[in-house]
Amino acid sequence: MEPWMVNLVEAGILLAVIIIGWTLVGYPKWKVWASHQEGLADLTRARNEQQIQIAQADSRLAAADKNKQAAIIEAEAVALQIQAIGKQLTEHDLYLKWQWIKMMEDTSGDDDRTTIYVPTEANIPILEANRLRKEKE
């Protein structure tokens, strides 16, 4: 046999031993290692998704807290406005009287409106209808 053929046969045998060794020993170990790495990657992805969800929930909570604070401040401002208007109207009732007179002037020409005057005393209507019934009896 030629020396180059011997080298070729030796190389073929060596290649066959490497393939058989890889199939029997290397591939099963590599498969376990690869699945372990895949599991670590899945775990890292799950942790990242969990951190994202926690960050989103924290931001929603912070936004809700800010909205609550804004609503409280707005409500306090409205309450102060109502209090100031109420104080001014009780101290200066001329504005209400002027509004009533203006309303009467605005609606005086309407044919479909009827104004009924009810006599009052201390802003309580005086109901005289019962007095007349009692006198007849």
Cα 124 from Cα 130, distance rounded (Å): 16
Question: Which percentage of the chain shows pLDDT scores above 90?
Answer: 36
**pLDDT tens-place string over residues 101-133:** 888 888 777 777 777 777 777 667 666 656 555
pLDDT reported for residue 73 = 97
Query: pTM for the full model?
Result: 0.45
Distances (CA, A) of 103 to 63, 87, 106, 112: 46, 23, 5, 15
User: For residue 8, which phi and psi values (nearest 5 degrees)?
Assistant: -70, -40
Encoding tokens for residue 53?
Answer: 């969800």
Range of the domain at 69: 3-136
Average pLDDT over residues 61-81: 96
Number of compact structural domains in the chain? 1
Q: What confidence tier does 71 reach under pLDDT thresholds 50, 70, 90? A: very high
pLDDT reported for residue 8 = 81
**pLDDT tens-place string over residues 89-104:** 888 778 778 888 888 8
Q: Which residue has the tokens 């009692």?
A: 134
